[in-house]
């Protein structure tokens, strides 16, 4: 056997033995760079308010390319997890119902699912596969498509999304307690006093100058619009309103996560987190072949890849509940991603076992693998991961009771996806 062949066969064995191990991936990501949602404070962008910028779309496209390299069959990876042809039983994609998250994840999917391999159109169906309105240029369009169903053999992937008032998974549906908390806290100066006192002396003068204001005009409780404007301007190379020093910019950046977390009480914060984490846990059980809660994970069709397109707001609460020992999070960048991997252990007896002890969980925030306090090593055993979730103050049952312990406040501000 010559050297190349030997090397290739070793590589192949490695791929085959290691590839049996990854069972499931759940990704929660933040949208890419976008125009500020409510006000650009005079800065011009080619897109409308809240829309992703070209760089934001590029970020997600590249994220998709990397997920493809890591997890797709036929790519040079160790985890041959999902088929390159989109299959509803393998990949489940959800987004919050905002343009920037839907467009971001759509870009990510264009990077993830390769073009040119979708099923081709059978030639005899070319005359049938047409809409019911007349296309004056039908012939030239059909000619240029050839046997591709749609341009370049792209694969349209379904992205499901629901209005925030009904979405019980990615947003705030069916939990008046948490929504009311957001509404009350957003408008209560007492809740923001401490953070205001922390940041006012060190950065309010500079931020006020940037916007031509007096620092008394600024309040931490409603500074998010200005922070969003600054973060986007910095990312897009348009920050000309003030020349922050490196140290000052660090402070400006560090205001984001405290702001997002403080919209919810510690209890509501955990509710927000477990609304995401418990369904992911149940999908893991489903992938392991164990009993799982159909209400929480039944929608996912036992998917191997779950992609959730969301916001810095939700992510800040989820990451906070993970309480990783090796991450001090004060800012969630555009296109940040939180990835949960479920691995089957390599040891004998675990090849087909559904025993919890045969599985482990790896959690990554961008490129950093998180070390959870309940886990002895950086790779959590599945049982340790469960213990972490069980150790949170709010349980699934308590959450339901709390959520419906109040009626939804109306006529106040609205609950919204922040940042």
Closest CB to ligand NAG among residues 252, 280: 280
Q: Which stretch binds ligand NAG (CB under 6 A): 200-208, 252-260, 291-299, 349-357?
A: 291-299
Contact status, residue 251 vs residue 210, Cβ threshold 8 Å:
no
Using CB under 6 A as the binding rule, whether residue 47 contacts ligand NAG is answered as no
In the shown chain, the binding pattern of residues 316 to 335 toward ligand NAG, with x for contact by CB under 6 A and - for none, equals: --------------------
Q: Least distance in Å: CB of 98 to ligand NAG?
A: 25
Query: Which is nearest to 305 in space by CA: 67, 38, 42?
Result: 67
Contact status, residue 62 vs residue 95, Cβ threshold 8 Å:
no
Phi, psi for residue 22 in degrees, rounded to 5: -80, 125
Per-residue burial over 307-343, b if 16 or more Cβ lie within 10 Å, else e, is bbbbbbbbbbbbbbbbebeeeebebbbbbbbbbbbbb
Q: Least distance in Å: CB of 282 to ligand NAG?
A: 8
Q: Least distance in Å: CB of 285 to ligand NAG?
A: 11
Phi, psi for residue 363 in degrees, rounded to 5: -120, 130
Q: Which stretch binds ligand NAG (CB under 6 A): 21-29, 250-258, 289-297, 378-386?
A: 289-297
Report the distance separating Cα 288 and Cα 39, nearest Å.
47
In the shown chain, the binding pattern of residues 137 to 156 toward ligand NAG, with x for contact by CB under 6 A and - for none, equals: --------------------
Using CB under 6 A as the binding rule, whether residue 395 contacts ligand NAG is answered as no
Closest CB to ligand NAG among residues 83, 396: 396
Name residues contacting ligand NAG, limited to 181-240 (CB under 6 A): none
Phi, psi for residue 255 in degrees, rounded to 5: -85, -15
Q: Least distance in Å: CB of 301 to ligand NAG?
A: 17
Using CB under 6 A as the binding rule, whether residue 296 contacts ligand NAG is answered as yes
Q: Are strands 368-369 and 359-365 parallel, antiparallel or unpaired?
A: antiparallel
Q: Which stretch binds ligand NAG (CB under 6 A): 113-121, 253-261, 288-296, 323-331?
A: 288-296
Angle between helices 176-186 and 396-403 (to 10 degrees): 60
- DSSP labels, 167-214: -SSSS-TT-HHHHHHHHHHHT-HHHHHHHHHHHIIIIIHHHHHHTT--
Q: Least distance in Å: CB of 381 to ligand NAG?
A: 22
Using CB under 6 A as the binding rule, whether residue 293 contacts ligand NAG is answered as yes
Q: Which stretch binds ligand NAG (CB under 6 A): 26-34, 111-119, 188-196, 290-298?
A: 290-298
Q: Least distance in Å: CB of 296 to ligand NAG?
A: 5
Four-point Cα dihedral 392, 395, 398, 403, nearest 10: 80
Closest CB to ligand NAG among residues 89, 295: 295
Query: Which is nearest to 274 in space by CA: 331, 314, 307?
Result: 314
Q: Which stretch binds ligand NAG (CB under 6 A): 57-65, 252-260, 293-301, 349-357?
A: 293-301
Q: Least distance in Å: CB of 291 to ligand NAG?
A: 9
Contact with ligand NAG (CB under 6 A): which of 396, 398, 408, 409?
396
- Count of CB atoms situated within 10 Å of the CB of 89: 11
Report the distance separating Cα 348 and Cα 416, nearest Å.
49
Contact with ligand NAG (CB under 6 A): which of 144, 295, 355, 377?
295
Q: Which stretch binds ligand NAG (CB under 6 A): 68-76, 186-194, 204-212, 292-300?
A: 292-300
Separation in Å, CA 139 to CA 123, 130, 131, 136, 152: 14, 11, 13, 8, 17
Task: Give residue number: closest CB to ligand NAG.
Answer: 293
Q: Least distance in Å: CB of 330 to ligand NAG?
A: 32
- Dihedral sign for Cα 379, 385, 387, 392, please: positive
Phi, psi for residue 79 in degrees, rounded to 5: -110, 95
Using CB under 6 A as the binding rule, whether residue 390 contacts ligand NAG is answered as no
Q: Least distance in Å: CB of 401 to ligand NAG?
A: 11
Q: Least distance in Å: CB of 293 to ligand NAG?
A: 4
| Residues near ligand NAG, by CB under 6 A | 293, 295-296, 396, 400
């Amino acid at each position: 056997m010559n050297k190349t062949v030997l090397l290739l066969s070793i590589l192949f064995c490695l791929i085959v033995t290691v590839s049996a191990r990854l069972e499931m991936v759940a990704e929660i990501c933040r949208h890419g760079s976008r125009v500020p949602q409510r006000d650009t404070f005079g800065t011009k962008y080619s897109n409308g308010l809240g829309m992703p910028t070209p760089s934001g779309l590029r970020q997600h496209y590249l994220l998709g390319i990397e997920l493809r390299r890591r997890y797709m069959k036929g790519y040079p990876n160790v985890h041959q997890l999902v088929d390159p042809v989109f299959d509803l039983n393998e990949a489940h994609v959800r987004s919050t119902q905002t343009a920037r998250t839907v467009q971001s994840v759509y870009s990510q999917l264009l990077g993830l699912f390769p073009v040119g391999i979708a099923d081709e159109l059978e030639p005899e169906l070319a005359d049938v596969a047409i809409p019911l309105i007349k296309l004056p240029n039908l012939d030239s369009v059909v000619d240029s498509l050839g046997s591709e169903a749609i341009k370049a053999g792209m694969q349209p992937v379904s992205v499901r999304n629901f209005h925030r008032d009904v979405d019980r998974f990615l947003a705030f549906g069916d939990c008046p307690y948490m929504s009311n908390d957001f509404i009350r806290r957003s408008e209560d100066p007492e809740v923001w006093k401490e953070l205001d006192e922390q940041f006012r002396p060190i950065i309010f003068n500079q931020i006020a100058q940037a916007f031509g204001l007096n620092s008394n005009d600024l309040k931490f409780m409603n500074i998010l619009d200005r922070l969003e404007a600054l973060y986007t301007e910095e990312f897009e190379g348009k920050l000309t309103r003030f020349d922050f020093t490196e140290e000052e910019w660090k402070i400006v950046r560090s205001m984001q996560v405290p702001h997002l977390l403080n919209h919810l009480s510690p209890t509501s914060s955990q509710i927000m987190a477990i609304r995401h984490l418990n369904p992911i846990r149940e999908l893991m059980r489903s992938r392991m072949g164990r009993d799982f809660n159909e209400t929480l994970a039944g929608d996912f069709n036992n998917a191997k890849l779950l992609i959730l397109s969301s916001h810095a707001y939700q992510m800040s609460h989820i990451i906070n509940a993970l309480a990783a020992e090796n991450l001090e999070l004060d800012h969630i960048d555009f296109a940040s991603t939180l990835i949960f991997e479920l691995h089957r252990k390599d040891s004998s007896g675990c090849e087909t076992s559904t025993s919890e002890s045969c599985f482990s969980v790896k959690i990554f925030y961008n490129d950093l693998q998180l070390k959870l306090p309940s886990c002895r090593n950086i790779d959590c055993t599945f049982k340790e991961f469960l213990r972490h979730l069980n150790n949170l103050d709010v349980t699934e049952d308590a959450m339901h009771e709390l959520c419906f312990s109040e009626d939804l406040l109306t006529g106040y501000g609205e609950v919204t996806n922040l940042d």
